[in-house]
């Protein structure tokens, strides 16, 4: 027991020492790496997924790889056998670099990946210590990589909230987690109005109306329990609940004895919205932004709104588009740099020293192209996003990667090119770029009409 404690005593959350912006960036890079590993495919069973849990012994894993090497020697297909043996050998060589398991564990992915573009095979090695302790060990030899033990680390900081939008016409149940929102269930209802043209007494009509409203509230409460309460743990699956809607249905929910007490205890706020359905969902998310300040979607809305406000002031304290933003970066005037996570802009083609089919990926999922025996060249067009993620600190700015999941995010990505910056001080961008009045009239990035559409 004392030996185990000594090996796990250094385990800690490596993100805890970073500021919030750096934490979000590191989490984004980790999720991106997991996404690449999850989508990678190979031929046969030549892709090894090895996760060593916190406190596990590298000697045990090394012995297991020796046994796997002997088993793989009996594979009938020569091509598959050689690929598997090569992957196991690479895993053994990489494991020798670690005399003991790192405090947070170790993740090692080795295999031959088939490119989707040209069908070429590349040998890939990914080895890193997770930023948080991983307690599950795993070994898989398959045609794809398995990242199950690491996915919980990527979701650790994503608080999940439930949003219920209810009015006299419909009820909608959704969830918001990080930068992802989802409508889980919805149904419509036809409730009687307060008045009737006749055919029955006013007392009878009122009684029938109240009965249907009561049944509607019951149905909403039962659906909320089914959606937001786990049947296995009997505990809520969300951190909090936002109740939204028109009229007083949302108030009736909170007061009703039918509303599950486990959900009633985690209601964070009740907001008024003028519409139901998807529109009401978006309005409820915006109206509850104060209570959901730790939600990534809310943070993205505030960041992009800050850029929009700077653009609306027309005092040269904002830049949009690749050309203007890069100009301001080089001038050292950028305070906040916003980039869309799906930005596909690439830099000019560069001839890089080294290339072969042996490509190693680092802990951020980036290719390190090493010179091989054939002495070939590795020609790529790197993504501008990748370079700015690695080098933004030298410009002295804060980098935030945003999605297009919000209305503001969609406007930023589609209308403003997916890249922009808030500046520390006003700068004459046209003068820095050498633009003349004729150039600005001939090639204006945004005219007055397009700005009106954005704002």
The residues, ordered by sequence, that sit 6+ positions from 195 with a Cβ below 8 Å of its Cβ are none
Determine the Cα–Cα distance for residues 326 and 294; give it in Å rounded to an integer: 30
Tokens representing 253 are: 């929910």
Determine the Cα–Cα distance for residues 11 and 43; give it in Å rounded to an integer: 37
Measure Cα distances from 306 to 249, 309, 343, 408 in Å. Answer: 35, 5, 20, 11
| Predicted pLDDT of residue 225 | 93
pLDDT tens string 188-197: 888 766 655 5
| Predicted pLDDT of residue 198 | 54
- Give the global pTM: 0.67
- Beta-strand (E) ranges in 56-179? 106-114, 121-128, 138-142, 160-166, 170-177
Tell me: domain 300-347+382-454, CATH 3.30.1330.30, correct? yes
| Predicted pLDDT of residue 349 | 36
Q: Are strands 378-380 and 419-423 parallel, antiparallel or unpaired?
A: unpaired
| Predicted pLDDT of residue 217 | 87
What is 2-154's CATH number?
Answer: 3.30.960.10
The kind and range of the H/E element at 50 are strand 47-52
| Predicted pLDDT of residue 121 | 84
Is 178 exposed, middle or buried, given 0-12, 13-18 or 19+ CB atoms closer than 10 A?
A: buried
Class of the CATH-defined domain 160-293 = alpha beta
Q: Do domains 2-154 and 300-347+382-454 have the same CATH topology?
A: no
Digit-by-digit pLDDT tens for the chain (455 residues) are 333 333 445 666 777 777 778 888 888 889 889 999 999 988 878 899 999 998 888 899 999 999 999 998 888 888 888 888 999 999 999 999 988 889 889 999 999 888 877 778 888 999 999 888 888 899 999 999 999 888 878 765 567 889 999 888 888 999 988 777 889 999 988 876 665 555 566 677 677 778 888 888 899 999 999 999 998 889 998 888 999 988 777 888 888 888 899 999 899 888 988 888 888 888 888 888 878 877 788 888 889 999 999 988 877 889 998 888 998 998 889 999 999 988 888 875 333 333 334 444 444 445 544 433 444 434 456 788 888 988 888 888 999 999 888 888 889 988 888 999 999 988 888 777 776 655 555 445 444 444 445 44
| In the chain, domain spans | 2-154, 160-293, 300-347+382-454
């Amino acid at each position: 027991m004392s030996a185990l404690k000594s090996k796990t005593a250094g385990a800690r959350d490596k993100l805890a020492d970073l500021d919030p912006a750096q934490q979000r960036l590191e989490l984004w890079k980790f999720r991106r790496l997991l996404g690449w590993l999850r989508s990678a495919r190979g031929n046969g069973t030549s892709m090894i997924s090895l996760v060593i849990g916190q406190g596990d012994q590298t000697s045990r894993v090394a012995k297991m790889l020796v046994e796997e090497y002997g088993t793989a020697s009996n594979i009938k297909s020569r091509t598959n056998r050689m690929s598997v043996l090569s992957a196991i050998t690479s895993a053994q060589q990489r494991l020798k670099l670690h005399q003991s398991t790192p405090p947070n564990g170790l993740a090692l992915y080795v295999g031959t990946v088939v490119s989707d573009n040209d069908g070429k095979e590349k040998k890939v090695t990914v080895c890193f210590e997770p930023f948080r302790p991983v307690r599950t060990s795993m070994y898989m030899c398959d045609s794809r990589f398995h990242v199950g033990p690491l996915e919980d680390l990527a979701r650790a900081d994503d608080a999940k909230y439930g949003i219920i939008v209810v009015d006299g016409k419909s009820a909608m149940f959704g969830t918001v987690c990080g930068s992802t929102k989802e409508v889980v269930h919805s149904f419509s209802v036809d409730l009687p109005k307060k008045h009737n043209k006749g055919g029955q007494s006013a007392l009878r009509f009122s009684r029938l109306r109240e009965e249907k409203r009561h049944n509607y509230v019951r149905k909403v409460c039962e659906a909320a329990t089914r959606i937001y309460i786990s049947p296995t743990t009997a505990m809520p699956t969300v951190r909090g609940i936002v109740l939204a809607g028109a009229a007083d249905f949302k108030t009736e929910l909170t007061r009703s004895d039918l509303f599950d007490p486990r959900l009633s205890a985690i209601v964070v706020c009740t907001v008024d919205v003028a519409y139901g359905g998807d529109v009401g969902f978006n309005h409820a998310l915006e109206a509850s932004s104060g209570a959901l300040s730790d939600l990534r979607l809310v943070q993205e809305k505030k960041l992009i709104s800050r850029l929009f406000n700077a653009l609306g002031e027309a005092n040269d304290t904002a830049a949009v588009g690749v050309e203007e933003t890069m100009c301001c970066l080089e001038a050292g005037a950028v305070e906040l740099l916003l980039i869309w996570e799906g930005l596909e802009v690439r830099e000019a083609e560069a001839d890089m020293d080294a290339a072969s089919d042996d490509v190693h990926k680092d802990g951020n999922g980036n290719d390190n192209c090493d010179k091989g025996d054939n002495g070939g060249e590795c020609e790529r067009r790197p993504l501008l996003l990748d370079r700015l993620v690695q080098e933004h600190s030298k410009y002295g700015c804060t980098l935030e990667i945003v999605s297009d999941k919000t209305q503001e995010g969609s406007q930023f990505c589609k209308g403003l090119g997916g890249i922009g910056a808030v500046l520390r001080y006003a700068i004459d961008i046209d003068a820095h770029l050498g633009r003349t009045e004729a150039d600005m009239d001939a090639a204006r990035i945004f005219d007055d009409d397009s700005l009106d559409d954005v704002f």
